[in-house]
């Protein structure tokens, strides 16, 4: 067989592969993404890298966060590290730390803190040390939910039940057309040929689904009671916010057909003087906030070593040792 014929066959195979990747089976693009999302929920473990930044246009201020998380669904464990940077008025504030959830216990570690007069000076003594925040976390949350159920005279609430309802809510958004695929392109993601989907979100559909979920748990009613609002006032305000929340949002998803590999969103939020009333002069207010968020998923079904720290402090004991307006006599010394 001549080199020309072999070359032609290879070219044909590449074209056919591209056509399949772009159009695939007769299943709709929304169904393909919904299937990929279901597969993500079924994973034993996975990793997530998160990067997000918000720039306040006109105010020379920016908030940035980047972190990574390992999730082990099989062992019901997770670990995450994060870095929060706040740039304001020429000053940079950096926060670094981690969270670990294992054996139903939640631990936290603070690695970096900025100089801040409102923080107790003793907090520098726990930097780099693990602190047990909550022991038997799920049991504590279930107990709290049980008290809310009894007080509100509604069906017994549990973490497992709420997670199941949230999963059904997520699937309902796809099934009811809240998320629509506007465009599909073939893209190269770290050397892998994948589909890149451009999505649009229907605010009205999200609104209806969210309202139904909130009414199931009487969330609006509870918040209205807490905030002293009239009946239906909070729900009405939330509906207005959700309806317009997706108008200036660009949303993209990368998938290999089996899993979600990357999600990226770009949004612009207008800021009115009422939003920041009393916080700054009218001329100093930012006019809009631009946010870019990128999430990468990886390490599917890999084995993670997520273990409880051998040495740790107890949160209650740590707080008793703090001297600040919140925990004891005020302290003027600043942290460095």
Q: Which domains does the chain have, with CATH numbers?
A: 36-202+246-320 (2.50.20)
Query: Of 135 and 26, which is predicted with more confidence?
Result: 135
pTM of the model: 0.78
Q: What does pLDDT average to over the chain?
A: 80
Write the pLDDT tens digit of every residue in 142-157. Answer: 888 888 778 777 777 8
Q: Residue 102 belongs to what H/E stretch? A: strand 91-102
Q: What is the pLDDT of residues 232-262, one digit of tens each?
A: 777 777 777 666 677 778 999 999 999 999 9
Encoded tokens for 193: 């040929």
Model pLDDT, residue 212: 80
Each residue's pLDDT tens digit, 208-232: 888 787 877 777 777 777 777 777 7
Dihedral through CA 64, CA 293, CA 40, CA 80, nearest 10? Answer: 0
Cα–Cα dist 155/255, whole Å: 38
The model's pLDDT over 169-178, given as tens digits with 9 standing for 90+, comes to 888 888 888 8
Q: Which residue has the higher pLDDT, 205 or 287?
A: 205
Rounded Cα distance, 325 and 118, in Å: 8
Residue 249: the pLDDT is: 86
């Amino acid at each position: 067989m001549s080199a020309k014929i072999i070359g032609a066959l290879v070219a044909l195979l590449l074209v056919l592969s591209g056509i399949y990747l772009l159009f695939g089976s007769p299943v709709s693009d929304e169904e393909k993404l919904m299937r990929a999302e279901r597969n993500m929920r079924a994973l034993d473990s996975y990793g997530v890298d998160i990067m997000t930044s918000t720039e306040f246009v006109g105010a020379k201020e920016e908030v940035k966060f980047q972190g990574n998380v390992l999730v082990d669904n099989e062992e019901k464990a997770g670990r995450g590290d994060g870095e929060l940077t706040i740039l304001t008025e020429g000053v940079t504030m950096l926060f670094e730390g981690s969270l670990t959830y294992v054996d139903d216990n939640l631990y936290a570690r603070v690695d970096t803190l900025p100089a801040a007069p409102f923080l107790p000076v003793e907090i520098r003594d726990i930097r780099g040390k693990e602190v047990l925040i909550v022991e038997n976390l799920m049991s504590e949350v279930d107990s709290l939910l049980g008290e809310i159920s009894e007080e509100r005279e509604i069906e017994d609430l549990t973490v497992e039940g709420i997670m199941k309802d949230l999963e059904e809510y997520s699937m309902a958004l796809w099934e009811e057309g809240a998320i629509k695929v506007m465009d599909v392109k073939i893209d190269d993601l770290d050397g892998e040929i994948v589909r890149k989907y451009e999505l649009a979100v229907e605010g009205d559909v999200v609104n209806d689904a969210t309202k139904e979920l909130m009414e199931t748990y009487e969330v609006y009613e509870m918040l209205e009671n807490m905030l002293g609002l009239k009946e239906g006032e909070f729900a009405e305000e939330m509906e207005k916010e959700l309806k317009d929340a997706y108008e200036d949002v660009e949303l993209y998803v990368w998938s290999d057909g089996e899993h979600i590999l990357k999600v990226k969103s770009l949004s612009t939020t207008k800021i009115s003087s009422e939003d920041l009333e009393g916080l700054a002069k009218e001329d100093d207010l930012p006019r809009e906030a631009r946010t870019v968020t990128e999430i990468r998923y990886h390490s599917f079904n890999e084995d993670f070593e997520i273990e409880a720290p051998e040495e740790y402090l107890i949160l209650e004991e740590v707080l008793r040792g703090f001297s600040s307006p919140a925990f004891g006599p005020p302290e003027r010394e600043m942290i460095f």
